[in-house]
Amino acid sequence: MRTISVNLYRFSELSDEAKQRALNDHRYYETEYMEWWGSTYEDANMIGLQINSFDDYTIDTELMVDAEQVAKNIVMEHGETCKTYQLASEYLSLLREDRDDDDFKAKLSWEYHNMLQKEMAYLESDEHLSEVLDDPSIFEFYADGSRYREIKEG
C-alpha cells in the first residue's frame, strides 16, 4: 500500500502563471465537448431559418418558410435592438416587388453566423473560463495549474 499526500487548489487560489496554464489547457472545454450552439439553432428554427452547419468563415442555412414569414416571425419574437429585427423590419418596409429574398436570407444567415462566433469567443474567453474553472465540484488543480483527476476504484 502506498499513501500520497498532495495539495490541491481551486482555480482562484493558483498563481497567475498556473492560472494561465489552466486556462490554456481548458480553452476549448465548452466548445469542443458540448453542443453550445443548440439555443442559437433553436432560435433560428423558431423564426423559420434552419442552420445546417457553420465554421469560422461560412454558414449553411435554408428557409423553412417563405422569407416574408421569416421576417414577420422575427418582428414578433426578437427585440427591436436586435440586428435580426432591424433586418426584418427593413425587408418588410419594402414593397413586395422590391424585396430580394436571397439578399435577406444571406444577411440573416450572416447575422446568425456572427451570433455563433461571438458565443464561441465568449465561451473560450479567459473571463468565462475563469468562472467555470473555479467550480471545485468539477475542477481541482495542482500548484502548477495542471488538472487533478481523481481515479475512482471499483
Q: pLDDT tens digit string along 80-102?
A: 999 999 999 999 999 999 999 99
CA distances 34 to 50, 59, 106, Å, are: 20, 19, 27
Question: What average pLDDT does this structure show over 11-20?
Answer: 96
Rounded Cα distance between 133 and 69, Å, is: 43
pLDDT value at residue 134 = 93
- CA nearest to 110, candidates 34, 42, 24, 51: 51
| pLDDT tens sequence across 25-77 | 999 988 987 899 999 999 999 999 999 999 999 999 999 999 999 999 999 99
| pLDDT tens sequence across 96-146 | 999 999 999 999 999 999 999 999 999 999 999 999 999 988 899 999 999
